[in-house]
Amino acid sequence: MSEADTAMSDTTGSFADWVSAVQHRTESALDRFLPQATIAPARLHDAMRYAVLGGGKRVRPLLCHAAGALSGASAEALDAAACAVEMIHAYSLVHDDMPCMDDDVLRRGKPTVHVQYDDATALLVGDSLQSLAFLLLAEHCPVPADTRAALVSQLAIASGSRGMAGGQAIDLASVGLPLGVEELEFMHIHKTGALIRCAVRMGAACGHLDVDAHGRLDHYAGTVGLLFQVVDDVLDCEASTEELGKTAGKDAAANKPTYVSTLGLARARERARELHAEAIDSLSLFGDAARRLRELADFVLTRKH
């Protein structure tokens, strides 16, 4: 076992070392699973690698590995699950940045895919990453066949019209509209929360937990998904483009409903603290075994980009 893999499985070391180990393992696995840029069609494969590698916080893989450690899942199964959910996330960013959606030119501190390549390539990058994610689960996840089927189902629901894509559709239809808190949270439970929740579910499903434990983890995941979006909305108002690695203030400029526009900045910060406390409380059953999940909730609350 490598030094990075040892740090990844260690629940007593520092959070920073664990994050670094999981990020390193995930980057290596993504590099391995993505087609090489020398394989035809080379331009498409190069753009897929550009979209996925060398950037991002890898929050979803971190959550997947943390839940998997709690359920006793193998690192190899978690590699496939974490990379699958990260590829879906990357595809969503590529499409979200396109002119027909949010029309942004910067992502993770570098030009967005449609700017670096072209619109058609960006569209195909998203399509290809989505299909590759399901291929990973079908062919590279060493779990029983019924578990693989469940993982595919969970990821499909989380990324489709009843999850992320549906939330994005609601978001686009809500521009300029005064949404209430319940409507806003319904949108973000789908747009942002569904894939975060799925990452935790998939990590847990790669191992073995009882029904009550799955329910508590699911509550944690749903709460952290909303927390992530509240903090995102606050950062969009407070952080700079350089800090965020994407265009700051874009939601306000586009007249999109956010937690800040709906609640005000102070109440949005308070809502973030409430969601964080709820997430931590949902892990009380697990004791020290859920340390990494608690630390990830802390990280989501206090992140600066």
Query: Within the chain, what is the greatest distance between any pair of CA atoms?
Result: 53
Q: Provide the whole-model pTM.
A: 0.93
Backbone Cα Rg of the chain: 18
pLDDT of residue 251: 74
Helix axes 291-302, 265-281, angle to 10 degrees: 180
Q: How many residues does the chain have?
A: 305
User: What amino acid occupies position 260?
Assistant: V
User: According to the model, what pLDDT value does residue 6 have?
Assistant: 45
In this structure, the number of other CB atoms found within 10 A of the CB of residue 229 comes to 24
pLDDT of residue 305: 80
Distance (Å, whole) CA 300 – CA 225 = 9
Query: Tell me, what's the pLDDT at 57?
Result: 92
Task: Give the residue ranges of the chain where pLDDT is below 70.
Answer: 1-11
Question: Distance between CA 230 and CA 279 in Å, rounded?
Answer: 14
Closest alpha carbon to 124 in 190, 42, 61, 191: 42
CA pair distance 59, 67, nearest whole angstrom: 12
Residues 28-85 have pLDDT tens digits of: 999 999 999 999 999 999 999 999 999 889 999 999 999 999 999 999 999 999 999 9
Amino acid at 208: H
In the DSSP assignment, the letter for residue 85 is H
What residues have CB less than 8 Å from 257, skipping those under 6 apart?
Answer: 174, 175, 177, 178, 179, 184, 187
Q: How far apart are CA 25 and CA 187, in angstroms?
A: 32
Res 241: pLDDT = 78
* pLDDT for res 4: 46
What local confidence, expressed as pLDDT, does residue 1 receive? 43
For the chain, domains (ranges, CATH) are: 14-302 (1.10.600.10)
pLDDT at 254: 75
